Chains A and B, each alone.
Chain A
């Protein structure tokens, strides 16, 4: 099992460019999440998908869109990148049911720089 995979690992964009970050999990989890991590800020939730077919805003959704393509895949899109979106982006997944419903498992991250 690969767990949670993310592509790309690194990306440099110019202001105004668009891109999509890809995430896939092979644990048959119901729920998936996108976070950003900035120095001294911990992890902040951008968007999440409680189950296939649903998506909802998290704490910092402005400037982002998401698509839950199927149960395995959850993508994050930046339509017009801004320097404030320079960050490390993590995808995570959880079972969403049962006793361990909120134990989240993280991917390796995408390091994004917007110039």
Chain B
């Protein structure tokens, strides 16, 4: 299946900061999905991207589908405490497949 590499593995945020994370694939994707998981909960779909170069926002979150189709980026603007959690990228196991491969996640924690 597809290998997805997320970075950074973890990050600390300070309230009000802009933060970003990315995901790279060993193969070309035609779909990128970003999920957030709060402690003790299931992942929740944040943003779906279907076109190379596409930039899509959901409130303070913005995600981009990389031009090479092998990467995607997620930005959080003006962080707030409830942004803590684990953010996962996901993409189809094979082209046009409904099965997904997931990255290992970026853990976001509030800096004391």
Contacts and interface: CB of A to CB of B under 8 A. Distances in A.
A108 interface: yes
Contacts, number: 53
Interface string B16-59: 00000000000000010101000011111100101000000000
Main secondary structure of the interface of B (DSSP, over half): loop
B99 A58 contact: yes
A104 interface: yes
A13 interface: no
Interface residues of A, number: 28
A61 interface: no
Contacts of B33: 102-104
Interface of B: 1, 31, 33, 35, 40-45, 48, 50, 88, 90, 92, 97-100, 102-105
Q: Nearest 3 CB-CB pairs, A to B? A: A106-B42, A43-B102, A42-B102
